[in-house]
Structure 1
Amino acid sequence: MAELWKSLPSWVRNIVVPIIVLILAWNVIWFLVGAIASLVGFLIKVAVLVGVAAAVVILVKKAAKS
């Protein structure tokens, strides 16, 4: 690997490779942000669904008593 790195022209080592690394890092970061955001959104939807279901159960029990 060191031989390959040394065989590259200096402009490739100093300009092209860092740009490619930055682009890859940017894509990985935004992939992680998107995955975390979608997980949080899913958890919020589940919490709302559970809350609505609990409210319905409570209201049905109250209606059955009266």
Structure 2
Amino acid sequence: MAELWKSLPSWVRNIVVPVLVLILAWNLLVFVFGVVGALLAFAVKALVVVGIAAAVVILVKKAARN
């Protein structure tokens, strides 16, 4: 690997490689935030559905008593 690195021209080592690393790091960061955001959105939706279901059950039980 060191031989390959030293065989590259200096402009590739100093410009191209860091730019590629930054692009890959940015894409990885966006991916991680996207996954976390999707999981949080799913959790919020699930909590809303559970809350609505609980309210319906309470109202049905209350209506059945009367």
Instruction: Give the structure-2-normalised TM-score.
Output: 0.99
Q: Match of 2:58?
A: 58
> Aligned with 2:53: secondary structure?
helix
- CA RMSD across the alignment: 0.3
Q: Where does residue 36 of structure 1 map in the other structure?
A: 36
Which 4+ stretches in 1 moved above 3 angstroms?
Answer: none
**In structure 2, what is the equivalent of residue 9 of structure 1?**
9
SS of equivalent residue, structure 1 residue 52: helix
TM-score computed with the length of structure 1 as normaliser: 0.99
In the alignment of these two chains, the number of paired residues is: 66
Letter aligned with residue 20 of structure 1: L
Structure 2: how far apart are the matches of 1:23 and 1:10? 20
Deviation at 1:2, TM superposition (A): 0.3
User: Which runs of 5 or more residues in structure 1 are unaligned?
Assistant: none
